[in-house]
Structure 1
Amino acid sequence: MPFARRLQNTVRALLDLSPAAAGAREGGPRTGAAPGLRDPAKKEIAMRLVSSAENSSLQWREQYRYIEDIGDGRGYTAGIIGFCSGTGDMLELVEHYGAARPGNALERYLPALRQVNGSDSHRGLGSGFVRDWQRAAQDRVFCEAQDHERDRVYFDPAVRQAEQDGLGTLGQFVYYDAMVMHGAGGPDGFDAIRRAALERAASPARGGDQGTYLDAFLDVRRRTMKREAAHEDTSRIDTAQRVFVREGNFDLRTPLAWQVYGDSYRID
């Protein structure tokens, strides 16, 4: 065998025995550049998992037109990840849509969205806004605007933080789902949940075990959800994410089977 080929094989063998490779095999710390949840196929799985909890459906692309007040104190909840009129992300979405499609039917509601931000009020919105939202969902540009804001505000920050914490695909999804429901800041936001989890267990990036850390994170998130009447059903943790952790499915490999609100789902 030529010397160059022997050297190449030796390097490859050493890489296979490296801590990064071992971590990837055993669910320990991950330091490589695997695509994780950024992989389009894994991201599709993530969207279907979130939709099962947010919309009781795996058909997440049907949710661009979704809009209703679910009584959680955040006004209207709408779109593919639940943009809310009371939390500012719906306002930012409509502003972004206006920049991409000037003169669209939702622009007229920008003053009202600014006024109701931080409350559950429908003042200046109402049935007309609901109707125009559903019509706007027929516009490809509006759907692209939802995708853009989902990634900018929720998906990209969650995955980036999970990567820094040494988490694999499942951990990245666990972070993303928490970011979608709780937002980043505030006493019950994602950042607070993560800080509390790190007080209980070390992340893989700090030498901890991936499963142990994710259990700690889900424990904290579950308690956070129990403090809110609208989120007191924790099945998206108990019979979904926790199941994947216990199975050691840190790469979110299919098939996946889980339950939310008593309904069963499966991705093959």
Structure 2
Amino acid sequence: MRTFGAALPVASVLLASVLVPGPATAARPTGLDRPDRKEIAMQLVSSAENATLEWRKQYTYLEDIGDGRGYTGGLIGFCSGTGDMLDLVRRYTRAHADNPLARFLPALRKVDGSDSHAGLGRPFVRAWHRAARTQGFRRAQDAERDRVYFDPAVHRAKRDGLRTLGQFIYYDAMVMHGPGSDRLSFGGIRRVAMRRAATPAEGGSEVRYLAAFLDVRRRVMRSEAAHEDTSRIDTAQRRFLRERNLGLRPPLTWHVYGDRYHIGR
């Protein structure tokens, strides 16, 4: 899910190309990119986005949630109005030209930047559900999630000296606000937070910096009607921070929108 401030595909692609490490810098997973911690990250995001820990059941998800971003669908809420759903379907079609969603590419281009359903509607919803039953579209969602959100977030967080919890906090912010640089996107939130507290890479306190980042993000969320409920910060991420669980080690207990979630050891 991306804000309109992060909707320009070119800006997103450029940022992703800067933040994603190339083969020469690839390293053994040590934080959120560890398979067990990545699984936790997917569950945490799914609890906030889909009210369940069963994130693998969300490939078929698609609806208009009334937030001004058109259709929201898939694992992390790709949106028809913010460009990332268009990018997903475009990349999926490059690998699988004969797919149910390919014919909707012209309509997705036209509605980008709006909440319009023009050219989409029920036929698009049915096509999404058919595509999501295939391994090809599921792999495309995984790959796009990692390319645009997960890998850039983890890489940027590691460069800022953040451990696993901080890497997740960056990832969740990118999922909701987009990886752009304007004030409502991840880049803008990080920029303001860095003015309030030094990152660990700059010699600052990790706890103090993450608290500042969450403060800034909370303010941004509350400026949008669709994101006024900040429980994914208040009773989840901030709880882990208060517990000083910077390694995001289970067991984990948190609440989102009043619902309780738990991951055992």
- TM-score normalised by the chain length of structure 1: 0.87
By relative contact order (CA 8 Å, sep 6+), the higher-ranking structure is 2
User: Which position in structure 1 is the counterpart of 2:50?
Assistant: 55
User: Which position in structure 1 is the counterpart of 2:207?
Assistant: 211
User: Which position in structure 1 is the counterpart of 2:124?
Assistant: 129
User: Which position in structure 1 is the counterpart of 2:5?
Assistant: none
Q: Which sections of structure 2, spanning at least 5 residues, go unmatched?
A: 1-26
How many Å separate the matches in 2 of 1:192 and 1:102?
Answer: 37
Q: 1:99: how far off?
A: 1.1
- The equivalent position to 1:155 in structure 2, one of 112, 129, 150, is 150
How many Å separate the matches in 1 of 2:238 and 2:93?
Answer: 40
How many Å separate the matches in 1 of 2:225 and 2:174?
Answer: 18
User: Which position in structure 2 is the counterpart of 1:187?
Assistant: 183
User: Which position in structure 2 is the counterpart of 1:109?
Assistant: 104
How many Å separate the matches in 1 of 2:68 and 2:47?
Answer: 22
Q: Does 1:119 align with 2:123?
A: no
- 1:97-123 deviations in whole A, cap 9, x for unaligned? 101111101000000000000000000
How many Å separate the matches in 2 of 1:33 and 1:229?
Answer: 41
Q: Secondary structure of 2:32's partner?
A: helix
User: Which position in structure 1 is the counterpart of 2:71?
Assistant: 76
Q: Which sections of structure 1, spanning at least 5 residues, go unmatched?
A: 1-31
User: Which position in structure 1 is the counterpart of 2:37?
Assistant: 42
- 1:50-95 deviations in whole A, cap 9, x for unaligned? 0000000000000000000011110000000000000000001001
How many Å separate the matches in 2 of 1:119 and 1:211?
Answer: 38
User: Which position in structure 2 is the counterpart of 1:262?
Assistant: 258
Q: 1:154: how far off?
A: 0.4
How many Å separate the matches in 1 of 2:106 and 2:39?
Answer: 34
How many Å separate the matches in 2 of 1:246 and 1:133?
Answer: 40
Q: 1:35: how far off?
A: 1.2
How many Å separate the matches in 2 of 1:263 and 1:251?
Answer: 24
Q: 1:34: how far off?
A: 6.0
How many Å separate the matches in 1 of 2:156 and 2:28?
Answer: 14
- What letter matches 2:257 in structure 1? Y
Q: 1:33: how far off?
A: 7.0
Change in Cα spacing, 1:203 to 1:34, as seen in structure 2 (3 Å) is farther
- The runs of at least 4 consecutive aligned structure 1 residues that moved more than 2 Å come to none
Q: Does 1:247 align with 2:243?
A: yes
User: Which position in structure 2 is the counterpart of 1:90?
Assistant: 85
Q: Secondary structure of 2:58's partner?
A: helix
- 1:2-56 deviations in whole A, cap 9, x for unaligned? xxxxxxxxxxxxxxxxxxxxxxxxxxxxxx9761011010000000000000000
How many correspondences in the alignment? Answer: 237
- What letter matches 1:82 in structure 2? G
Q: Does 1:232 align with 2:254?
A: no
- What letter matches 1:113 in structure 2? L
Query: Percent identity at matched positions?
Result: 67
Change in Cα spacing, 1:98 to 1:34, as seen in structure 2 (3 Å) is closer
How many Å separate the matches in 1 of 2:81 and 2:48?
Answer: 20
User: Which position in structure 2 is the counterpart of 1:12?
Assistant: none
Q: 1:187: how far off?
A: 2.4
